[in-house]
A and B are shown apart, each in its own frame.
Chain A
Amino acid sequence: MPSTPADDEAWRGNALPLLNEIRHALDRLLASGETTVIDLGALPMGPQDEAELLAALGTGEVDATINAGGPSSVRETAFHGVWLVTHRNETGETQARFIEVAFVPELLMSQREDVADSAKALSEQLREEQNIRK
């Protein structure tokens, strides 16, 4: 696979070190459960780097959309535990992109505060329904 800058074709040398970093992150996840988040916007990327990286990671089993302040996509890559998280705003513009190495990306989980709100809201709803039936 041509992946070094020695190639005279448009350079795509950043994908490989990143893939190595992801592999180490997988080891850490297995050993201690520690998750790793890599901000793709903070890395120097050449025109081909991103396509190369995404092609190497492939597509996995989970493809979720979170609708909170605009759509965010959370996709598992072909490598279990390696997730691609893309945050968009209400107008669909990409705001940030992360590689998250985790069993479940944090944002997919329901948050404690939201669950507490929901418990209250559901009680409220039940009370109202009971009042209607009375």
Chain B
Amino acid sequence: MAIDGPTIAEVLRQQGISRRGFLKFCATTASLMALPPSMVPAIAAALQHARRPSVIWLSFQECTGCTESLTRSHSPSIEGLILEQISLDYHHTLQAASGTAAEAAREAAMRENAGKYLLVVDGSIPLGNAGFSTIAGISNLDMLKETAAGAAAVIAVGTCAAYGGIPAAQPNPTGAVPVSAIIKDKPVLNVPGCPPIPVVITGVLAHFLTFGSLPELDALGRPKAFYGESIHDRCYRRPFYDQGKFAETFDDEGARKGWCLFKLGCKGPVTYNACATTKWNQGVSFPIQSGHGCIGCSEPGFWDAGPFYKALSMPIGPAKAAIGAAAVAGLAAGAAVALRNRSAKKSAQAAHQKVTIDDLEKSK
């Protein structure tokens, strides 16, 4: 799965980095991959043999937010991780070459690393009319199929590539579909989020870099290490939810005291992502800490799942009781709550409502 050349440990050593510096790199990488610190020796051992993988990055119907997010990841820095440890052979936005030279670079990387390179995709693929989105005169569909053919695996970065995202929101004018609707014969790993948390993108790349394999995935193709728990399960405001203390407006007493944002439309209970612990902007904060509910951006169809400021159509009382029971019965019951919450979201989707100015201002 990797190109020839020095191993990552050798590269670091050539750069004059000591074993101590290497262990520091391994400790931050473990934290980045959401692995327990006890995994550091295993990471160190794996990096002794890991080689730089070749990466081709394709951008289809997207807003470049995912690339913006990636280039703001801090640990390890984009320069360190992507440009030194990974051989990024093609990326429209980040590469200097353009036009024919850029396409030649992509073809060369595909040829030289056939069967071994990692394909990263952001953006959805329009099936409606090939002309909706093309690169160098090649339709997104053709370029994806052609480039995926020789890839070891495909990583769909962002909710658009993972689940269709905003381009696929009703009425889906371009017939947008996610990568997984087209690529069926390769492992497709989804890293959703609008955009995904920067360190989650680099964390997944770091996992591939370290172990030469993809991490364990959930039923929606997401790495469990980052998407294994709901925002609600890891939310520091959760004790207020359990006590039934809710902010009713964005400027009432409850809001000032940091109470639960459920009634203001928080989708944390049905959203699986790492925001509540990893946080954003170098761990400074995340939406709920800044006083705004989660909008569920890492879930399929989040854009059509009802107004952002309308509380989930889920009875608060019984959910509380069920969560109390979950705490006693352990994980299995927790999963049951999650399942029920998901079905609550499905019904919200079915009864799709348009957002009105009233929703946004949410008069009590």
Report which A residues bind B (CB closer than 8 A).
5-6, 8-11, 13-14, 37-39, 41-47, 49, 66, 68-69, 72, 87, 89-91, 93-96, 98, 106-107, 110-114, 117
**Contact of B343 with A by CB under 8 A:** no
CB-based contact A89/B236 at 8 Å: no
CB-based contact B19/A112 at 8 Å: yes
Given contacts A5-B240, A66-B24, contact A94 B19 (CB under 8 A): no
One of B24, B76, B235 near A68 (C-beta < 8 A): B24
- Which positions 199-255 of chain B face chain A at CB distance < 8 Å? 234-240, 243
Interchain CA distance A21-B196 in the complex, whole Å: 31
CB-based contact B257/A44 at 8 Å: no
**Contact of B25 with A by CB under 8 A:** yes
Interchain CA distance A31-B194 in the complex, whole Å: 48
CB-based contact A41/B37 at 8 Å: no
Nearest residue in B to A69 (C-beta to C-beta)?
A: B21
CB-based contact B20/A5 at 8 Å: no
Report which B residues bind A (CB closer than 8 A).
17-21, 23-25, 27-28, 30-32, 34, 36-38, 40, 74-77, 80, 234-240, 243, 257-258, 276-278, 282-283, 285, 289
Interchain CA distance A13-B285 in the complex, whole Å: 17
CB-based contact B74/A93 at 8 Å: yes
CB-based contact A89/B76 at 8 Å: yes
Point out the residues of chain A lying under 8 angstroms from B21, CB to CB: 68-69
Given contacts A39-B37, A96-B28, contact A45 B236 (CB under 8 A): yes
Shortest beta-carbon distance from B323 to chain A in Å: 15
Shortest beta-carbon distance from A13 to chain B in Å: 6
Interchain CA distance A47-B19 in the complex, whole Å: 35
Interchain CA distance A5-B244 in the complex, whole Å: 12
Nearest residue in A to B23 (C-beta to C-beta)?
A: A107
One of A11, A69, A114 near B24 (C-beta < 8 A): A69
Point out the residues of chain A lying under 8 angstroms from B28, CB to CB: 87, 95-96
Given contacts A68-B18, A112-B19, contact A44 B235 (CB under 8 A): yes
CB-based contact B258/A95 at 8 Å: no
Point out the residues of chain B lying under 8 angstroms from A6, CB to CB: 243
Shortest beta-carbon distance from B82 to chain A in Å: 14
Nearest residue in B to A98 (C-beta to C-beta)?
A: B37
Interchain CA distance A56-B17 in the complex, whole Å: 35
Q: A47-B258, A111-B19 are in contact. List 17 more A-B contacts (CB 8 A).
A: A11-B237, A13-B239, A37-B38, A39-B36, A42-B31, A44-B277, A46-B258, A66-B20, A69-B17, A69-B21, A93-B77, A93-B282, A94-B282, A94-B283, A96-B27, A98-B31, A107-B27
Nearest residue in B to A95 (C-beta to C-beta)?
A: B75
Q: Across chains A and B, which 5 residue pairs bring their CB atoms closest together, nearest first?
A: A68-B21, A5-B239, A37-B37, A46-B236, A95-B75
Interchain CA distance A111-B23 in the complex, whole Å: 9
Point out the residues of chain A lying under 8 angstroms from B282, CB to CB: 93-94
CB-based contact A95/B76 at 8 Å: yes
CB-based contact A113/B37 at 8 Å: no
Given contacts A5-B239, A87-B27, contact A41 B20 (CB under 8 A): no
Interchain CA distance A111-B76 in the complex, whole Å: 22
Shortest beta-carbon distance from B12 to chain A in Å: 8
CB-based contact B277/A41 at 8 Å: yes
Point out the residues of chain B lying under 8 angstroms from A94, CB to CB: 282-283
